[in-house]
A = this chain, B = another copy of it.
């Protein structure tokens, strides 16, 4: 019943890597097929269009992410604010090792795609936004826990979580523009001190 060769998975894996290291528009179906050692016909057997592929890639990568370093960083056994430091560490080491492998920083796939396609495809944009929302929620839960335990004074955990995500994406953007992972290392310490007070609106 299950595909034996896992061709579909191979396509997604190749596309994920290519999209992440270059851009959605710059990577063609032909190239993806070549790298997955298949023919175009096979590709279109599994995906109706390039757009459907990138949709699947986003799902796949969001899952990787959730099960991978996000699960590690937001480990409930860690003290809440240490989890936030862990996020920085994970981002730093990931970008650094990517640079060692490929010579350049790929940045965040979701951030890259969001800036590339948001103005052109609202469905894609919404899907990317959903990933950001779930990332924000992780931060929010952590902040709520820290407040409850009296580790940090009360704040607007919803907005602060969003602000932390913004700062994280911004650091990665700047690191990519500099092609220097150390940016994340240098700026990371400020992440957990970001605060948005309650009732300022």
Contact surface of A with B, Cβ cutoff 8 Å = 21-23, 25-26, 102, 104-107, 111-112, 114-120, 122, 125, 128-129, 132, 159-160, 162-163, 165-171, 173-174, 176-179, 183, 186-187, 189-190, 193-197, 200-201
Contacts and interface: CB of A to CB of B under 8 A. Distances in A.
Contact of A25 (B23, B104, B168): B23
Nearest to A104: B119
Contacts of A173: 111, 114-115, 166, 169-170, 173
Contact of A115 (B115, B125, B201): B115
Given A22-B119, A162-B183, A196-B190, A114 B177 contact: yes
Residue of A102, A119, A125, A162 most packed against chain B (CB within 10 A):
A119
B107 A111 contact: no
Contact of A193 (B111, B165, B174, B195): B195
A195 B201 contact: no
Contacts of A200: 189
Residue of A115, A122, A125, A160 most packed against chain B (CB within 10 A):
A115
Q: How many copies does the complex hold?
A: 2
Contacts of A120: 22-23, 26
Given A118-B176, A162-B186, A189-B197, 9 more contacts: A116-B116, A118-B177, A122-B179, A125-B179, A160-B190, A165-B174, A167-B167, A186-B201, A190-B194
Given A166-B170, A167-B166, A187-B163, A177 B119 contact: no
Given A169-B174, A186-B162, A190-B194, A105 B118 contact: yes
A196 B194 CA distance: 11
A122 B189 CA distance: 28
A26 B120 CA distance: 10
